[in-house]
Amino acid sequence: MRKYLLLLFVSVFVVSAGTSLAQKPKRCGTMDYLARQMAEDPTLASKMADIEKMTHEFETQSAGMRTSSTVITIPVVFHVLYHTTAQNISDLKILDQIATLNKDYAYLNADTVNTPAAFRPVAANTNIQFCLATQDPNGDPTTGIIRKYITATGFDPYTNQNIKYTAQGGDDAWDRNKYLNIWTSNFTGASTQIIGISQFPGGAAATDGCVILYGTIGGETYHGTTAYYNLGRTATHEIGHWLNLYHIWGDDGGACNGSDYVTDTPNQASENYSCVAFPHITCNNGPNGDMYVNYMDYGDDNCLNMFTAGQGTRMTAALNGPRISIKTSPGCQEPTGINSTARQFAVSIYPNPSTGEFVLTSKLKDLSDVEVIVTNILGEVVYKNSSKGISYLVQTIDLSDQSNGIYMVEVRTNSGMSTQKVVLNR
């Protein structure tokens, strides 16, 4: 008994010590994934060297021209692969994530006040913006969000790319020449140590995009659920890689000889976690030290608040080089496909099936009066509501006093009508 108690004590101690010493997840698995891609594809290194050469030429040409840059908007599609309700992140969180990206990439985020004065002269609006796709690869209307229930408890993108293939239980990429693909899910296996992974320009089309832990998606208003990483900065960081940015410390393991190929970021020894105090000097990098508030470092979401002008130029080079087709993508234009006349806008219902209450969201083509009508299987109206002059419909509908079954949700606007089914199952 005594022995048993002692053992119990030891194991409890080990568990609690393990918890208190537990490291935060590594922000990102992108460099390890890149190393694996290079091992699998012997041509990738030379492709990336060509891109680097082109990037350098672009940087030389565009020197001093940053103020005249035009804004480039990147159409985004979210592939939400969920096993639990929590993993089926809401439209509102995804919209807030897009809002976060647009603020972060324009240096219009609320926490620019936390950028140390020494770094403000190089903090920059990158002139890159994002939109949720409004037309799918066929030209048909879409909310830019694909939701898929998965039987597995999650994916392990650190080990394999199954999440990017429908045949492997994931969801196929949309044309990477027109869209930025973002897959979100629960992470399992080796991936429980990371929260995001991305593919640099130059890699294979089928796997192009970012894979991001579901709990990190959100923003200032609708927070994610992952501790320290709940303000949407994981996507800000991973998309940086997708636009050819390297980690700010140059991934040299503290040797001070690595580079992020950007001139206005300091040489920095290693990644910084949490919120570092100014100045944090490494590699003899001068009185200002590391730029630990940069999105390409590893700090907590509330400690990161800037890209530099040099990083902006490097990303713009990617959008004028390997990712140039994004500039002419119709992804965020009005749908032109064969289903466009019948259904002039896309409506999303979440959750569906519903246990009573669900949220209806729709991005309308124009400012419009909207009428929402829900009917039961007998055609009887069980809910009706109208709103005037709106461009984005967000409506919570409560059918908890109705019986289980299929209901039709009809949304009428000045220019068209859309009908969707919702299943009530309590």
Q: Output the smallest distance, CB 198 to Zn ion, in A.
A: 7
Closest to Zn ion by CB, 28 vs 326, is: 28
Fill in the per-residue mask, 318 to 357: x = in contact with Zn ion (CB under 5 A), - = not in contact: ----------------------------------------
Interface with Zn ion by CB under 5 A: which range of 21-29, 141-149, 249-257, 267-275?
Answer: 21-29
Q: Output the smallest distance, CB 177 to Zn ion, in A.
A: 23
Closest to Zn ion by CB, 164 vs 237, is: 237
Interface with Zn ion by CB under 5 A: which range of 22-30, 170-178, 206-214, 342-350?
Answer: 22-30
CA angle 108, 113, 119 (to 5 degrees): 90
Question: What phi, psi does 146 have (nearest 5°)?
Answer: -105, 130
Interface with Zn ion by CB under 5 A: which range of 27-35, 50-58, 180-188, 380-388?
Answer: 27-35
3-state secondary structure of 156: coil
Fill in the per-residue mask, 28 to 57: x = in contact with Zn ion (CB under 5 A), - = not in contact: x-x---------------------------
Interface with Zn ion by CB under 5 A: which range of 24-32, 101-109, 306-314, 392-400?
Answer: 24-32
Closest to 313 (Cα-Cα) out of 76, 40, 55: 55
Beta strands in 229-283 (DSSP E): none
Closest to Zn ion by CB, 242 vs 350, is: 242
- 8 A C-beta contact, residue 104 and residue 85: no
Q: Output the smallest distance, CB 34 to Zn ion, in A.
A: 10
- Which residue type occupies 140? D
Per DSSP, the residues of 19-69 read: HHHPPPPBS--HHHHHHHHHHH-TTHHHHHHHHHHHHHHHHHHHTT-GGGP
Q: Output the smallest distance, CB 246 to Zn ion, in A.
A: 8
Q: Find where tokens 């083509």 sit.
A: 365
Closest to Zn ion by CB, 30 vs 88, is: 30
Q: Output the smallest distance, CB 377 to Zn ion, in A.
A: 50
Q: Give dist(CA 295, CA 273) in Å, integer.
A: 12
Interface with Zn ion by CB under 5 A: which range of 26-34, 91-99, 101-109, 334-342?
Answer: 26-34
- Residue 238 appears among annotated catalytic residues: yes
Q: Which helix (H) or strand (E) holds 313?
A: helix 309-318
Q: Which of 220, 238, 334, 357 is catalytic?
A: 238
Beta strands in 245-346 (DSSP E): none
Closest to Zn ion by CB, 75 vs 240, is: 240
Closest to Zn ion by CB, 254 vs 405, is: 254
Beta strands in 70-217 (DSSP E): 72-82, 128-132, 145-149, 180-185, 196-198, 210-213
Sort residue 186 into left (φ over 0), alpha (ψ -120 to 50) or beta. beta
Q: Give dist(CA 163, CA 148) in Å, integer.
A: 11
Residue nearest to Zn ion as judged by C-beta position = 28
Q: Output the smallest distance, CB 197 to Zn ion, in A.
A: 8
Q: Give dist(CA 379, CA 382) in Å, integer.
A: 9
Closest to Zn ion by CB, 303 vs 411, is: 303
How many other β-carbons are positioned within 10 Å of the β-carbon of residue 169?
A: 14
Q: Output the smallest distance, CB 29 to Zn ion, in A.
A: 8
Using CB under 5 A, list all residues that contact Zn ion: 28, 30
Q: Which residues carry out catalysis?
A: 238
